[in-house]
Structure 1
Amino acid sequence: MTYEELMKEYQYIPIEELSLPASLKGLYLDGDIYIDNKLKTDREKRCVLAEEIGHYFKTIGNIIDTRKVENMKQEIIARNWAYEKLCPLSSIVQAYDKGVSGRFELAEYLNVTEEFLLEAVEHYKAKYGTCYKIDKHLIYFEPCLAVLKMF
């Protein structure tokens, strides 16, 4: 799924690209999503957009002040939504079954940045522990991401 396809899937949400301050890559404000037009790659835009869509669905109020604990919690909730949207465990297993190996190839397969992928793995590790069983596969989140097929 590309950045444009993600936008189309959520076409009922007003999404606009514009110049944002250097500290912001994206912003969710009053039902609208803004993506920084200085982002260079489709992958980076897609990751940022997914997080902002997570805010649309999962957060409330003005949470820009990240010094407040309750705002950071809402930020994490939106990010976790984005990780599960763009890097679902089923897609990681599917990539393994297709012979994808290494984090660079996996990030490319999922169309996300390597940084986003690593953060997604950390999210799953916090959620499930060191491994998780899905269908006939075990996904290990540490010491590094690995998928094993069970017989």
Structure 2
Amino acid sequence: MNRLEYLMSKYSELKFVYTGRMADFQGATIYNDHVYINENRSYQQNLQDVAEEIGHYETTVGDISGQDGLNERRQELQARRYGYMLLVDLDSLIACYKNEIKTPWELADFFECSVSYIWKAIDAYRLKYGEKFDYKGYCFNLNGGFNMKKIR
């Protein structure tokens, strides 16, 4: 089972539908309990797009498709950050550290996403927890990159 299939199985209350009827720039969209996925995009793009739509499912209130107001833009950003942290989770980052997977390119391969997505996930953690934080016996240092070490 790849990461996209795993992610979809974790959210079995949602119905995931591949469609070719979406604009090229649009990766996915959620409407009620249906996530529509652009079948013309790569696996990697679909994985990242689905993570964001799950972020909308978990965090968004109301229709924010217009992006007209500050509240809509905040909710969009919140859903995107949720998706980053859903796909690039701290427990898996610890597993990467234990297996000496450390470079952004190795992390991207492990998480099946783009290198830029890894950096955006790291930025999301930096905004949420600060540049340095402890989690499950590991010190994460996000000052100017991604470093961690075991503290216990």
TM-score, scaled to structure 1: 0.90
What residue is the counterpart of 1:129 in the other structure?
130
Distance in structure 2 (CA, Å) of the matches to 1:147 and 1:90: 12
CA shift, 1:132, in A, is 1.1
Aligned to 1:31: 33
Number of residues of Structure 1 aligned to a counterpart in Structure 2: 150
- Please give the alpha-carbon distance, in whole angstroms, between the structure 2 residues aligned to 1:70 and 1:129: 24
1:66, CA displacement in angstroms?
A: 2.0
Q: Deviations over 1:23-62 (max 9, x none)?
A: 311111233111111111x222111111111111211221
Give the match for residue 94 of structure 1: 95
- Match of 2:78, as an amino acid? I
Structure 2 runs not aligned, ≥5 long: none
Runs ≥4 in structure 1, deviation > 3 angstroms?
none
What amino acid is the match of 1:91?
Answer: S
Partner AA of 2:46 in structure 1: K
Answer whether contact 2:44 2:114 (CA < 8 A) is retained.
yes
Could you tell me which amino acid in structure 2 is paired with residue 88 of structure 1? D
Q: CA offset at residue 71 of structure 1?
A: 0.8
Q: 1:36 to 1:14 in 2, by over 3 A?
A: same
Q: Quick one: distance in 2 between partners of 1:105 and 1:67?
A: 38
Q: How far, CA to CA, are the matches of 1:67 and 1:93 in structure 2? A: 39
Matched, 1:73 2:74: yes
1:6 maps to amino acid:
L
- Superposed displacement of residue 150, structure 1: 2.5
Rounded Cα–Cα distance in structure 2 between residues aligned with 1:114 and 1:136: 26
- SS for the counterpart of 2:13 is coil
Per-residue deviation, 1:98: 0.6
Which is further off, 55-64 or 94-103? 55-64
User: RMSD of the alignment, in Å?
Assistant: 1.6
Residues 106-145 of structure 1, C-alpha deviations (whole Å, 9 max, x = no match): 1111222212211111111111111111123211112111
Q: CA deviation at 1:68?
A: 1.7
Amino acid at match of 1:44: Q
Report the counterpart of residue 22 of structure 1 in structure 2.
Answer: 24
Report the secondary structure of 1:16's partner residue.
strand
Partner SS state of residue 139, structure 1: strand
Stretches of structure 1 that go unaligned for 5 or more consecutive residues are none
